[in-house]
């Protein structure tokens, strides 16, 4: 029996596990979308437009601020835990688990205190309408930081259900039950009690998830004295946090610049096109979450053929559903936009242009994720930074002359540049074909996927 024949069953097991996890993750995300939508409808009816708006405002701030509060540690943990498991470096593995949890809690608490001080000042001096809800709601911030970290840690430990179900399914159901109970007490449901419900239920979810995750870690990881490579870990996390900040600005800059140049009405119409276009990459986002730990593991093992096989499989999972969604959006642009209101049909051509850019995201696959999970994050950071500059320059030129259409063109051009650039960096540094796109132009690389078959 040859080494190749022994290797083939291992690859098949890996791909079967990936396919199973991908199916579970996609199912959970679909359920999350449906449940969240139902909860939003019910809360809006029970609370009324104003109180529900305050509740969503506070929740949105907590979700947004949880990203910097985590200090980039969730993505850092995904890569390092996978690496330490392969190397059986149990001391550092336990070290990164403990330190990342402590720093995420500390970062969330510290940032929450800063926000509380700012909100307190605004409430005292300017009669800030969101004052009390924001003061109470900032208790969500450290909890959301831990949710982000524990989700990433759980999926790195190959527990997809533990990663996603607590925060994506159980928490919104508990919030719904809490809101339903309060609405039946005969009182008008306001934002403050619902924020308290959200805090209490999320606290329960975080504690239960932490306990289950702690049990799994102790069962699967050898006992060892924690080793802390704090300087190295923070160096990686700061780079990833900066990259995430660049990416967030890149994602939001088009709506902000349309609003600045054309006014809030046009920004609202254009925003509907942007949000609709995001449906194209929903499979890419979910598959990246599933693939990331496996990318890191295979790369540390030096299993480049296995990594190529996994990437190729992920490409097909990502591309074909994304293509189907893109075609539907292209053909049914006007009916879809009209759901938002008759004025939103004005974004018809803008959405079609954005679809092209988003399709390139799917066509190029998990290029950004591959660079991070293989330790080449410092090489990908300048790409995001330069593309951000290109994006801002193009918007400044295009919006005054072409309006929303100019913004859509600038955004799509930037997407194409960044994805193609990252694709060639993956080929150069990781030596694999990262996407269907590269295979069209380099058949030699595409042929690697047949290795050992």
- Closest listed residue to residue 300, CA positions, set 122, 139, 89: 89
Q: Please write the tens of the pLDDT for every residue from 289-305.
A: 888 888 888 898 888 98
Q: Which pLDDT value is given to residue 340?
A: 76
Please give the Cα distance from 404 to 389 (Å, whole number).
19
pLDDT at residue 414 tops 60: yes
Q: Please write the tens of the pLDDT for every residue from 186-220.
A: 767 888 899 999 999 999 999 999 999 999 888 88
Q: What is the percent of the chain with per-residue pLDDT over 90, rounded to a whole number?
A: 34
pLDDT at residue 46 tops 90: no
Q: Which pLDDT value is given to residue 452?
A: 41
pLDDT at residue 160 tops 70: yes
Model confidence at 24, pLDDT cuts 50, 70, 90, reads confident
Q: Which pLDDT value is given to residue 207?
A: 96
Residue 368: exposure state from Cβ atoms within 10 A (0-12, 13-18, ≥19): buried
Region at 221 (left for phi over 0; alpha for psi -120 to 50; beta for the rest) = beta
Q: Which pLDDT value is given to residue 6?
A: 42
Residues 70 and 107 sit within 8 Å (Cβ to Cβ): yes
* Across 96-105, 111-120, 238-247, least confident range: 238-247
Token couple for 374:
């293989």
Q: Tell me how far CA of residue 135 lies from CA of 15, 56, 115, 451, in angstroms.
A: 47, 14, 8, 58
Residue 66: exposure state from Cβ atoms within 10 A (0-12, 13-18, ≥19): buried
Q: Please write the tens of the pLDDT for every residue from 364-398.
A: 888 988 998 898 988 988 998 899 999 999 999 99
Model confidence at 152, pLDDT cuts 50, 70, 90, reads confident
CB atoms near residue 374 (< 10 Å): 20
Please give the Cα distance from 446 to 451 (Å, whole number).
10
pLDDT at residue 144 tops 50: yes
Please give the Cα distance from 380 to 389 (Å, whole number).
15
Model confidence at 10, pLDDT cuts 50, 70, 90, reads low
B/e letters for 106-134, b = 16+ CB within 10 Å, e = fewer, are ebbbebbeebbeebeeebeeeebebbebb
Please give the Cα distance from 199 to 143 (Å, whole number).
8
pLDDT at residue 38 tops 60: yes
Model confidence at 170, pLDDT cuts 50, 70, 90, reads very high
* pTM for the predicted model, two decimal places: 0.78
Q: Considering the chain, what is the average pLDDT of its residues?
A: 85
pLDDT at residue 449 tops 70: no
pLDDT at residue 1 tops 70: no
Where would I find the H helices in 263-303?
A: 264-277, 282-301
pLDDT at residue 134 tops 80: yes
Q: Which pLDDT value is given to residue 438?
A: 53
pLDDT at residue 445 tops 50: no
Please give the Cα distance from 224 to 92 (Å, whole number).
9
Please give the Cα distance from 290 to 302 (Å, whole number).
20
CB atoms near residue 202 (< 10 Å): 23
| Choice between 16 and 391, residue whose per-residue pLDDT is larger | 391
| Choice between 8 and 106, residue whose per-residue pLDDT is larger | 106
Q: Which pLDDT value is given to residue 271?
A: 81
Element (H, E) at 199: helix 191-220
Q: Please write the tens of the pLDDT for every residue from 315-343.
A: 888 888 899 999 999 999 999 888 777 88
Q: Which pLDDT value is given to residue 12?
A: 61
Q: Which pLDDT value is given to residue 446?
A: 45
């Amino acid at each position: 029996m040859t080494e190749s024949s022994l290797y083939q069953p291992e690859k098949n097991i890996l791909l079967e596990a990936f396919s199973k996890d991908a199916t579970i993750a996609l199912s959970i995300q679909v359920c999350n979308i449906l449940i969240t939508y139902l909860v939003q409808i019910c809360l809006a009816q029970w609370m009324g437009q104003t109180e529900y708006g305050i509740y969503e405002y506070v929740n949105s701030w907590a979700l947004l601020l949880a990203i910097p509060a985590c200090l980039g540690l969730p993505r850092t943990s995904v890569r390092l835990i996978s690496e330490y498991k392969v190397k059986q470096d149990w001391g550092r593995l336990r070290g990164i688990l403990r330190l990342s949890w402590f720093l995420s809690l500390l970062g969330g608490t510290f940032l929450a205190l800063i926000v509380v001080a700012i909100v307190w000042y605004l409430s005292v001096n300017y009669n800030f309408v969101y004052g009390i809800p924001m003061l109470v709601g900032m208790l969500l911030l450290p909890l959301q930081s831990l949710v982000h970290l524990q989700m990433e840690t759980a999926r790195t430990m190959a527990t997809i259900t533990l990663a996603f179900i607590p925060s994506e399914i159980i928490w919104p159901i508990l919030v719904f039950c809490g809101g339903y109970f309060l609405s039946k007490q005969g009182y008008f449901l306001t934002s403050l009690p619902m924020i308290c419900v959200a805090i209490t239920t999320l606290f329960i979810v975080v504690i239960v998830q932490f306990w289950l995750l702690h049990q799994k870690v102790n069962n699967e990881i050898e006992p060892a004295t924690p080793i802390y490579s704090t300087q190295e870990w923070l160096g990686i996390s700061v780079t990833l946090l900066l990259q995430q900040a660049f990416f967030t600005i890149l994602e939001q800059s088009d709506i902000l610049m349309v609003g600045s140049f054309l006014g809030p009405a046009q920004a609202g119409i254009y925003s509907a096109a942007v949000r609709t276009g995001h449906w194209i990459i929903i499979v890419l986002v979910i598959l990246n979450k599933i693939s990331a730990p496996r990318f890191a593991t295979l790369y540390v093992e030096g299993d480049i053929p296995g990594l190529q096989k996994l990437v190729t499989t992920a490409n097909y999972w990502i591309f074909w559903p994304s293509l189907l969604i893109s075609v539907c959006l292209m053909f049914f642009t006007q009916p879809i936009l009209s759901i938002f209101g008759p004025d939103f049909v004005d974004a018809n051509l803008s959405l079609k242009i954005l679809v092209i850019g988003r399709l390139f995201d799917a066509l190029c696959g998990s290029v950004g994720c591959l660079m991070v999970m293989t330790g080449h994050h410092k090489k990908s950071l300048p790409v995001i930074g330069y593309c951000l500059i290109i994006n801002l320059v193009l918007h400044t030129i295009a919006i005054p002359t072409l309006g929303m259409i100019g913004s859509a063109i600038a955004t799509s051009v930037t997407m194409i540049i960044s994805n193609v650039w990252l694709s060639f960096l993956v080929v150069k540094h990781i030596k694999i074909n990262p996407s269907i796109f590269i295979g069209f132009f380099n058949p030699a690389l595409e042929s690697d996927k047949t290795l050992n078959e």
